[in-house]
Amino acid sequence: MTASAAGGRSPGVQEDGYEPDPQRWRALWVTLVAGFMSLLDVTIVAVALPTIQRDLHASPAQVQWVVSGYALTFALALVTAGRLGDALDRRRIFLLALGGFVIFSAACGAAPDITLLVVARLAQGLAAGFMAPQNSALIQQMFRGAERGRAFGFFGTTVGISSAAGPITGGAILALASGEQGWRWIFYVNVPIGIVAVLLGRRLLPRTRRSGRGRVDLPGVLLLGLGVLALMYPLVQAESGGAGSRWWLFLLGVAVLTVFTRWQRRLVGTGAQPLLDPRLFTTVRGYAVGAGVGTLYFIGFSGVWLVFALFYQHGLGFSPLRSGLAVTPFALGSAGAAVVAGRLVDRFGRLLTVCGLTGAIVGLGGTALLLRFAPLGIAPWVAAPVLFLGGIGGGFVVSPNITMTLREVPVRMAGAAGGALQTGQRLGAAVGTAALPGLFYLVLDRNHDYRTAVVTALGAAFVGMAASLALAAFDWQRDRKTRTPHRRCPDEVAHHPMHARQT
């Protein structure tokens, strides 16, 4: 972005000093491709775990860290990375993180043993965590008004497709890459795409002026990191009994995050710059509700893919590719709906999320019933139209919720706010991917019935989405009663009491 020239405004410069970058749409696609790779790597590896375990002679606990270690370091980096992007240079941090992601992807593919593979995955997740909050922050920096809604629509599409497309993409790569070493291409495929994205990013991404607030709240970084680690570690170890034996870590995590919140409030009170300003949740309209809606939705949204994979591959004997194809209707519905939703969010606001969550719940519930009662031979294909409906609903959740959660956040705080939002989503995803498969196995061990197991697990996802719907409906009804506008203009945001002292 460039400031207005002294003595007058350049053509196209809006009242808040924003001047549209002529390359903003091409720059957006660079960030979306990078974001797609980082989110795809959360789920794409799951289908290759049996092959990796055999090839590297790993134990089940070791191979589980190939997935959970990535998710852990991803979540740990988000808020700190977002704050650094706000204080320093989003473009530079994005490009450095993307370059690191490419290097560590190659290291994963070349890993000779399970120990080095896990180490490389931890580093890869850290790079992804530094890259992710810059995506949403750059959207806020490059776009305004209706264009921002469209851009967030594409971003929401990327989030939805990358999460849903992991199993089918991994299955397709394993089908094309023959031999025991074929799993390595799941990581190598990031290398050429990432190199092209780095080169294009250097050319297209806008430079960010340093805010002059480069000082980072190190005690806050340590407290937040320890709190998130304490909450997530038992979840990522759930398959090996970590959630039960380390339950006390949940209490520790809550206690540390409470101390973190008080520390951030103290910094605000003294005029210092916090890592994550608590007033984001108390005075920025829509942020707290949007973060809650996203976290609850991702509990169900992220967990169902592992449940479907377990049911189709172990219960019905599907190959990884065929299992991925069975859930493709959801991804297709989500992709199309997210693009449309980005254009409608300014008009309908929270109502879009309410309708989307209703559709997702109906689709998920209908799929569960069909998998339970339809003949096994045709159940996945009969369920496809209902799953498509659920995907359309999901597309009307992620994209509008991101837009409504972040649109009133000042650009100077966009990275930290986006990082906190995604941290909540990662925590929700960790809960879902730990709890839903765990419930699936628990029911299966007791009843030895795959149908009962999948319906029970999907029912738990249903509860998470229903809680998200209740929160979204409450916010929608509150808007209707107070008749408060859905959004403020940029000038109103700039003069919001939360930001007056910072400006």
Q: How confident is the model at residue 101 (pLDDT cuts 50, 70, 90)?
A: very high
If one compares 182 and 116, the residue with the highest pLDDT of the two is 116
The answer to whether residue 23 scores a pLDDT higher than 80 is: yes
The answer to whether residue 502 scores a pLDDT higher than 70 is: no
Using a pLDDT cut of 70, give the percent of the chain over it: 88
| Mean predicted lDDT score pLDDT of the chain | 81
**pLDDT tens, 68-89?**
788 888 888 888 888 888 878 8
Q: What is the mean pLDDT of residues 234-238?
A: 70
Name the architecture of domain 24-216+275-489+494-498. Answer: Up-down Bundle (1.20)
Amino acid at 282: T
**Cβ pair 408, 345 in contact under 8 A:** no
**DSSP 3-state of 463:** helix
**pLDDT tens, 388-408?**
999 899 889 887 888 888 877
In 3D space, the residue among 330, 83, 338 whose CA is nearest the CA of residue 217 turns out to be 83
Q: What is the mean pLDDT of residues 482-498?
A: 46
Q: What is the mean pLDDT of residues 321-328?
A: 81
Amino acid at 130: F
The answer to whether residue 239 scores a pLDDT higher than 80 is: no
Phi, psi of 421 (to 5 degrees): -60, -45
Q: How confident is the model at residue 5 (pLDDT cuts 50, 70, 90)?
A: very low
Where residue 18 falls (left for φ over 0; alpha for ψ -120 to 50; beta otherwise) is beta
If one compares 189 and 491, the residue with the highest pLDDT of the two is 189
| Predicted pLDDT at 144 | 80
Q: How confident is the model at residue 213 (pLDDT cuts 50, 70, 90)?
A: low
**Cβ pair 260, 224 in contact under 8 A:** yes
DSSP class of residue 121 equals: H
pTM of the model: 0.77
Q: How confident is the model at residue 12 (pLDDT cuts 50, 70, 90)?
A: very low
| Predicted pLDDT at 497 | 45
| Predicted pLDDT at 389 | 92
**pLDDT tens, 111-154?**
999 999 999 999 999 999 999 889 888 888 888 877 887 787 78
Distance CA 289, CA 292 (A): 5
Tally of CB atoms within 10 A around 9: 13
Q: First-to-last CA distance in the chain?
A: 18
CA distances from 443 to 306, 435, 462 (A): 15, 12, 17
The answer to whether residue 200 scores a pLDDT higher than 90 is: yes
Q: What is the mean pLDDT of residues 341-355?
A: 84
Q: What is the mean pLDDT of residues 423-433?
A: 80
The answer to whether residue 187 scores a pLDDT higher than 70 is: yes
| Predicted pLDDT at 8 | 37
| Predicted pLDDT at 299 | 84
The answer to whether residue 211 scores a pLDDT higher than 60 is: no
Q: How confident is the model at residue 90 (pLDDT cuts 50, 70, 90)?
A: confident
